[in-house]
Structure 1
Amino acid sequence: MEKPEPQNFEPIFFTDGNRLGKAHPIKNELSNLKAGLRELYHNIDLLIDAFSQRCESEKKPVHCHMGCHWCCNQAVFASTHEMIVLVDYLKKHYAKDRMEAVKEKAKEKEKRLSPLKPSEALKTSHPCPLLHKGRCMVYPVRPTACRIYLSSSKDSCIAKYERPKDPKAVPALFDFPLKAGRRLNQGFAQALREQGLIIEENRIEHILLKLLESPQKTNDWLEGAAIHDRFPFDEISTI
């Protein structure tokens, strides 16, 4: 069993993320965002490494590793600032034909999931447009949600992939990294909001498609514009 963590840890991680965001004021500079997010991800990775070592010592190891991609077929969410940096990485590391392939995959998944009710979208298996031959194309800048999704059972993740609508097919996720990592990112996002930037959360392919189809949106966002929709989490009745 996963040991319970102190009940007041979430505000601490939020404060840490917020402090980090304030240490890297954007001021219309993408480089500042990249530096801040790089440090945030580094802190999350250190947290995950320490947690994984603890799990290993307690004989309940984390089964996740680079190349294991069962969870990459569900609806995965990211925030605006994470996707801005992710797309910048894509453009710098991949040729035009690969970028077009990613955009087409994003269109395909968006076409399949966008007509669904929010709760139905969470019960659908379809590969992430950034998944190539079983590996993440943007692993160094993968969003927080991908970093903190840790399972103690690969079989439970495969079951979720194979039977996404089955309520009994639930990945054996560790609770602490999910909450701690998410609060770090929320604190960071709040610091950006205080600078006049609009941060929303949605499925990766939704934001990815907006940014790839309209490159100007990055500059629009840096100047304070909203560039994509918010996922209607409040409409989810059953997950």
Structure 2
Amino acid sequence: MENKTRPEGFEQIFFADGNNLAKAHPVKQDIAKLKIALRQLHHNADLLIDAFIQRCESENVPVDCHMGCQWCCNQAVFASTHEMVVLVDYLERRFSPEVIAEVKEKARLKEEKLTELSPKEVLNTSLPCPLLRKGTCMVYPVRPMGCRIYLSSSEKSCHAKYDNPEDPTVIPKLFDFTLKAGRQLNEGFAASMRDEGLDMKEHRIEHILLKLLESPDKKNEWLQGATIHDNFPFDEV
């Protein structure tokens, strides 16, 4: 998020890691370079999460996330502009125009439903991600950081939240460390992108996805410094 106060403690370390990584891989209006930089960021995040899972296993702490589990793919999921630019590039390179048209329609329908809601109501609504196909993420290799760091110790708690999205007492049992570390890696990375003159904002996946699929030129416009979508009003939640 823009104008966010710099983190302190261990979070500051991960912010610096993300920031330094991006500075080592300047984009310079080149999507190929952005893809390389983001691939390295995701690789670092995945290594961190793998190490965390191994630590949990050694201490007999359950990690209940597994292939085929998709309860979290039905909640509001947020991504940053740079992540979605790379995601849409992947989508367009890997899938047929017909499949992409299906994704676009799913994004449009979800966007129409959520646009009518308040920011707080959005967070308390369960609707499937438009990139969920036959129970599988279509863009798993380039999924946003928010999807990577969502790690639960109880599938039952995630299922319960899916069934009761409006109940504030139902809370998925998520690991705080991966959420905070991954978030700051991404924040640091985004801060460096802003220093390059790129407009970095955060919104729901389907919101940015629809903007990019409706106007293919927006990817290049963004690489030239243009604003291509608004920011989700987190302060109204």
Residue of structure 2 equivalent to 1:147: 148
For normalisation by structure 2, the TM-score amounts to 0.96
Residue deviations 1:133-175, cap 9 Å, x none? Answer: 1110000000000000000000000000000001121100000
- 2:120 equivalent in structure 1: 119
Identical amino acids, percent of aligned pairs: 66
Poorly superposed stretches of 4+, deviation over 2 Å: none
Q: Does the alignment pair 1:222 with 2:204?
A: no
- Please tell me the residue identity of whatever aligns with 1:25: P
Once the two structures are overlaid, the 10-residue window that deviates more, 193-202 or 59-68, is 59-68
What is the number of equivalent residue pairs in this alignment? 230
Measured after TM superposition, the shift of residue 229 of structure 1 is 1.0
Q: What is the 5 A alignment of 1:1-239?
A: 8-236=9-237
Amino acid of the residue matched to residue 170 of structure 1?
A: I
Q: Distance in 2 between the 1:113 and 1:182 partners?
A: 24
**2:142 alignment partner AA:** V
Q: How far apart are residue 37 of structure 1 and its match?
A: 0.2
Structure 1 counterpart of 2:5: none
Contact 1:109 1:126 in 2 (8 A): yes
Q: Distance in 1 between matches of 2:67 and 2:149?
A: 13
Unaligned runs of 5+ in 2: 1-7
Residue range with higher mean Cα deviation, 108-117 or 37-46: 108-117
Structure 1, unaligned runs of 5 or more: 1-6
* Contact 1:67-1:136 at 8 Å conserved across structures: no
Structure 1 counterpart SS, 2:197: coil
Take 1:161 and 1:233, find their aligned partners in 2: how far apart are those partners? 21
What amino acid is aligned across from residue 103 of structure 2 in structure 1?
V
- Aligned mates of 1:110, 1:173 — CA distance in 2: 26
* Aligned counterparts of 2:161 and 2:47: Cα–Cα separation in 1: 28
- Contact preservation (8 Å) 1:160, 1:171: yes
Instruction: Give how far 1:113 is off.
Output: 0.5
SS of alignment partner, residue 78 of structure 1: strand
